[in-house]
Amino acid sequence: MTEKRCRPVLLVLSCLFLFLSARADWKSEINELLKQRAYEPALNLLESTLPGMEQADRQEARGLLPFLYFKNNLPEEEKKALVDYFEEYGESQPLLSFLDFSVFNQALEYWGRWREEFPLISNINFLLPAAAEDRSIPEVLRIGFDLSAESYYKIQLEGNPLEGGLWTRGPHLIQLPLPFYFDQSYSLNLDVYLKTRSITVKKRIVLELRIDKKSLSTQELLVQRQDSPPIKNVEGELAFYIGDTLIFKATKYLQKQIPVRVTIPPPNPPGTKPYMVPEKDQPYFRG
């Protein structure tokens, strides 16, 4: 009876051991191939293993991939793998601690060079002047960000050149003009090109403008009781999104508050000053 209960437990432990061994095998096998300078078999092994790899190992695998493309003299594949890695992991450098010391030094030098030369955009923020009204529609959309390396840039909006020049390393600002009409929803394609001496990066950003109109035209909203709190009669509402992120929201009103009603008292009787209360013993007040 005890043997029957132990068999499922042993089976589970064996499967777990095989699973952990399989996760470590790709590292040890690639490490042995790289120690022998067998770069092409190492690349083939990594490409075939990467699609089914666990999430915990994917960063190191994707960090090793451009290095292996470089060793196999495949510049186009190398640059694409670099762009994919930086877009996914940003400035986080892969550890690659499983590599032999001789190979690790080469990979460390490789990634140190690309961290200095790759034009990575980070810390993107939408900026609004301090003097602007909170619920007003801006004339331009201001985007601030940090750039990791000096690069030439070109910005196109819907295929039309918007601006270009040289960006140094550090913070920068892009100003995108917004259209003057907001009667229907639409989207804008913004293409950003960054070029250094080593790589050219192209990124498309889709700006989606969603218009949500609300019309409350009933007369009940236009006439309110004097003792009721002021309300805002909405004519239309505009919301500006980039992806699913709300950037600006503005509302247009018919009136912002109920007009004040002032009661004017009747004039005083003749012979009295307008600012004095009439005396009670005046003759024309008697029967």
Q: Which two tokens stand for residue 65?
A: 């991939």
Q: Which two tokens stand for residue 256?
A: 């912002």
Question: What's the pLDDT tens digit per position in 178-191?
Answer: 765 666 777 888 89
Class of CATH domain 121-253: mainly beta
Q: d(Cα 158, Cα 5) in Å, to the nearest integer?
A: 68
Q: Is the pLDDT of residue 251 over 60?
A: no
Q: Which phi and psi angles does 278 have, rounded to 5°?
A: -60, 145
Model-level pTM? 0.64
User: Confidence band (pLDDT; 50, 70, 90) for 225?
Assistant: very low
> How many helices (H) and strands (E) would you count in the chain?
5, 9
Q: d(Cα 210, Cα 185) in Å, to the nearest integer?
A: 5
- ∠ Cα 116 120 121 (to 5°): 140
Residue 122's nearest CA partner among 141, 143, 148 is 148
Residues 118 and 158: beta-carbon distance below 8 Å = no
Q: d(Cα 78, Cα 65) in Å, to the nearest integer?
A: 8
Listed by start position, the domains of the chain span: 12-117, 121-253
Residues 99 and 107: beta-carbon distance below 8 Å = yes
Residues 65 and 46: beta-carbon distance below 8 Å = yes
Question: What's the pLDDT tens digit per position in 14-68?
Answer: 444 444 444 558 999 999 999 999 999 999 999 999 999 999 899 999 999 999 9
Collapsing DSSP states into helix, strand and coil, what is residue 203?
strand
Q: What are the helix (H) ranges across 72-168?
A: 75-89, 101-117
Q: d(Cα 120, Cα 147) in Å, to the nearest integer?
A: 6
Question: What's the pLDDT tens digit per position in 114-150?
Answer: 999 999 988 888 777 666 555 556 678 888 889 999 9
